Chain A
Amino acid sequence: EAQVTQNPRYLITVTGKKLTVTCSQNMNHEYMSWYRQDPGLGLRQIYYSMNVEVTDKGDVPEGYKVSRKEKRNFPLILESPSPNQTSLYFCASSKRLAGGPGTGELFFGEGSRLTVL
C-alpha cells in the first residue's frame, strides 16, 4: 500500500531535549516536505526536499533541521525544542515531473502531535 509513515504519532517532551520525527514514503517520490498545522493558520511549510541531498527552507524553518540522505526518508529534527514548537506536524511527498514544473499532488502522513513543556 502506498503511504507516508510518520513516527511518533504523539510525543510530549520538555524544552531543550532534542527530538527527531521520522518520515518515510514507499512511492519513490522525489519531493518531500514538512508542515506544521496551527489553529487559524492552516499548514505552513517548514522545509522541503526536491531530491536526495537537496533541501531548502520553507516559510517557517527556524528551530528545525532536516536531512535527505535516502530518497524514502526525510526526518525532521528539533535540536532544542521550545514551547512555541508545540504543534501538529505533517510529512508529505509528491512525484516531481521530469523536465518541467511539478503538478503532482501531495500525499500526507497521518500527522505527529508534538507538545513541548
Chain B
Amino acid sequence: AQSVTQLDSHVSVSEGTPVLLRCNYSSSYSPSLFWYVQHPNKGLQLLLKYTSAATLVKGINGFEAEFKKSETSFHLTKPSAHMSDAAEYFCVVRTNTGNQFYFGTGTSLTVIP
C-alpha cells in the first residue's frame, strides 16, 4: 500500500527566510514522487518530480526537494521565501504500476511581509 503524509497542515514564514515543507511516504517499491502547488482558485501546477534519477531534485521558482530513502522522506525546501509563494502545497506519490496517484492532505504556506 502506498500513502503520503504531510507533517504540517500550516506553515508560516517571514519573507526572505527559508521554507521547509515536510513529506513522508510509504511505498513498497521505489516510488515516483511529486510536489505540486495550488494558488487560490487555480488548478495544480507541478513544482518538481523525483523518478529515481538524482536524489536532489530542482524545480521551478527556486524550490528543491531531496529524496531520502532511509527516512522515506521527500521534503520541499526553498532558501528564501517570496510573497508569491503563499499557496497550498501537495506531496504526491505515484504507484509503481502507474495506475494511481496518492495525495497528501496539503500544507498551506503563509508568507509574512
Cα(A72)–Cα(B45), bound, Å: 20
Selected from B34, B41, B90, B105, the residue in CB contact (under 8 A) with A105 is B34
Selected from A40, A41, A45, A56, the residue in CB contact (under 8 A) with B101 is A45
A34–chain B nearest beta-carbon distance, Å: 12
Q: Return chain A residues, CB-CB under 8 Å to B52.
A: 103
Selected from B96, B99, B101, the residue in CB contact (under 8 A) with A106 is B101
Cα(A4)–Cα(B45), bound, Å: 12
Asked, given contacts A42-B90, A90-B43, A108-B43, whether A103 binds B51 with beta carbons under 8 Å apart, the answer is yes
Q: Return chain A residues, CB-CB under 8 Å to B99.
A: 48, 50, 56, 102
A109→B43 contact, CB < 8 A: yes
A90→B34 contact, CB < 8 A: no
Instruction: Produce 1/0 per residue, A22-51, CB < 8 A to B.
Output: 000000000101010000111111001010
Is A61 in the interface zone, CB < 8 Å from B? no
A88–chain B nearest beta-carbon distance, Å: 9
Q: Return chain A residues, CB-CB under 8 Å to B96.
A: 101
Which residues of B in the span 38-88 have a Cβ within 8 Å of any Cβ on A?
A: 41-46, 49, 51-52
Q: Return chain A residues, CB-CB under 8 Å to B105.
A: 40-42
What range describes how many residues of A lie at the interface? Answer: 20 to 34
A5–chain B nearest beta-carbon distance, Å: 11
B46→A44 contact, CB < 8 A: no
Cα(A4)–Cα(B101), bound, Å: 17
Q: Return chain B residues, CB-CB under 8 Å to A102.
A: 32, 94, 97-99
- Interface of A toward B, CB cutoff 8 Å: 4, 31, 33, 35, 40-45, 48, 50, 56, 58, 90, 92, 96-97, 101-103, 105-111
Pairs A–B under 8 Å by Cβ, sample size 29 = A4-B43, A33-B101, A35-B103, A40-B9, A41-B105, A42-B103, A43-B103, A44-B103, A45-B100, A45-B101, A45-B102, A48-B99, A50-B98, A50-B99, A56-B99, A58-B100, A90-B44, A92-B44, A97-B98, A101-B95, A105-B34, A105-B46, A106-B36, A106-B46, A106-B101, A107-B46, A108-B43, A109-B43, A111-B41
